[in-house]
Chains A and B, each alone.
Chain A
């Protein structure tokens, strides 16, 4: 905790200097400066009854299970990336190489551009290719392959060729101690690229269903896995093969006054904000998990905002040009006359992802609550 105290002191100085910008109320400081990304708890979800028997899995086990099902059901499925054969650094591919052979689950050199390039080739040739990028932060060397090749191959060839059987998985988001290069949330970069789909699950049930959807979708997909949830999110996951629809947001909590939109880890922060807002402000919030970032479910969000008149979007990635900007812009067009207050974006600050200041950087529940207050009092 010594580091935490130290961080607190430095931040106290910062917050005096930039109080308006930081907007941190004295009362809540002790919560913000805990030295990890907690401040929220994972609320296990019950599996849909129609999906039958379920067993306890955390998020990485749900991913493994989805990959296992894909390997078993589709003989053309191959899984590859850095260290996937021994189980992957996050244990998402544990046991798969032993079960299906090193011809189908194999390691690649440390070369992200090569991993994706290889995946594009394999998918174009008919394989169901599941590439792992070890961290979302490492995806940038493959940016050109994803944007200029994967996303455009179908369009450019007038649908003669495509690499729709490609899925790229990558651990994503803050983890409490990841610092600059193991914490980033790069979804907005890829949201700018027609031709690919970008999907982020909030827990094990969604991880399995959405990942299987991505693998089977005939478009190249990027599947970002909130790495802090790999072990901390634990719930009963149906054991059978099932998919969940892409490009459909899910309304998790119904409410009347404010619409809250998030994806991945941030959904759990906002779930607590729903309770806080009710308890402290008497405000009823509607919580939406966007799930698919591209192409996103405009209808569900617009319908909700039509009802509530207020929208808050929160994500870990920096504020400027984050995906919240796209949502805000679209919703003000769609729901202009329904809006009661300016749309609020509560996001990471416009800085590199900080190491010891992570709790300060993240859009925690107090910052979100503060934004709700602003909207209600507008």
Chain B
């Protein structure tokens, strides 16, 4: 089925943008719907789980509202394209093929977590052959991005720099912090593109376009996806009331929700029926419930995990314990 994407992309140093008439088949449409629904519901569950005492230590950043970004991006890439993300990464891992249980178990710090409970919500990662390096640390904003653009351009590196622009740096609106908000142009000599991050097909097309550009050996490219976070920055900051209005949130939800957007397309084009979509909703709920229950029952890591993987071997000196008589030696 050929569908028309409403918004044309903004381009920087590019002649022609991604296609606006795109192909969507039933299987892919249903897959996208299920994946986005899963991430949306995962977000809701995580906010609920946070209220349960001692289940989740630390914070969790959900992708509620931004689902189209990770799903559209991953669908347009090959498995051997490595991905490095920020801490808002559950959907990327899930779309790359990680199980919900390994993600939920990681968030609640269990041995069955994807990184043995050592990374937590912000630092999930998949086994090496998934080429998903996981959530990195963005600790403070850094001018480093411009150095990265510079070297990537000088060396013609095959890199796609993706910005999910959800309009807020925790609570600071983009306009208050950036003299230039057209981030897709900020690479100067690096071409850029701005696409609708609330439309999974637009994201898929834009990512495909950028990937083709890179595979054509043309060097780095910047992709900015305009999106919106429906909830607080993290479960520790659930409220958005101090920095934006409910009207603003309602307007985005009513006019450009990514899941409604796809749902309408699937129904009006008769690629799926209402019953089918309702069935998916129920399945997603069931799968998440099961994964959550399993993760909750999974064991916590042994205390020895505190001091393993610091160094690769036992060549280091012992790690000191809480008292002068205790020292931990790395296992050989």
Contacts and interface: CB of A to CB of B under 8 A. Distances in A.
Nearest to B84: A121
A148 interface: yes
Contact of A108 (B125, B151, B308, B312): B151
A155 B309 contact: yes
B199 to A, nearest CB: 32
B147 A113 contact: yes
Interface stretch (B10-18, B88-96, B131-139): B131-139
A351 interface: no
Given A219-B312, A247-B316, A295-B317, A149 B136 contact: yes
A160 B324 contact: no
Contact of B119 (A149, A156, A195): A156
A158 B118 contact: yes
A128 to B, nearest CB: 14
A368 B69 CA distance: 63
Contacts of A124: 133
A36 B115 CA distance: 52
A298 to B, nearest CB: 6
Nearest to A164: B312
Contact of B144 (A117, A148, A158): A117
B317 A296 contact: yes
B303 to A, nearest CB: 15
B228 to A, nearest CB: 29
A111 B147 CA distance: 7
B311 A219 contact: yes
Contacts of B133: 124, 157, 161
A156 B315 contact: no
Interface string A105-116: 000110101100
Given A144-B139, A157-B125, A158-B115, A295 B316 contact: yes
Of the four ranges (under 10, 10 to 19, 20 to 34, 35 or more), the interface on chain B belongs to 35 or more
B255 interface: no
Contacts of B136: 149
A154 B118 CA distance: 10
How would you classify the secondary structure of chain B's contact residues: helix, strand, loop or mixed? loop
A247 B317 contact: yes
Contacts of A155: 118, 309-310
B127 interface: yes
A162 B128 CA distance: 11
Interface string B42-56: 000000000000000
Residues of A contacting B: mostly: loop
B174 to A, nearest CB: 23
Contacts of B312: 154, 162, 164, 218-219
B317 A157 contact: no
Contact of B309 (A113, A158, A217, A333): A158
Contact of A109 (B114, B117, B151): B151
**In this complex, which of A117, A148, A156, A217 has the most chain B Cβ atoms within 10 angstroms of its Cβ?**
A156
B115 A194 contact: no
Interface in A191-206: 194-195, 197
B137 A149 contact: yes
Contact of A159 (B134, B147, B150, B309): B309
B315 A247 contact: yes
B21 interface: no
Contacts of B140: 144
Contacts of B118: 155-158
Contacts of B148: 114, 117
B313 interface: yes
A154 B114 CA distance: 13
B315 A144 contact: no
B115 A298 contact: no
A197 B123 CA distance: 23
Interface of B: 113-119, 123, 125-128, 133-134, 136-137, 139-140, 142, 144, 147-148, 150-151, 154, 308-313, 315-317, 319, 324
Closest 5 CB pairs of A and B: A158-B115, A295-B316, A158-B116, A295-B317, A218-B312
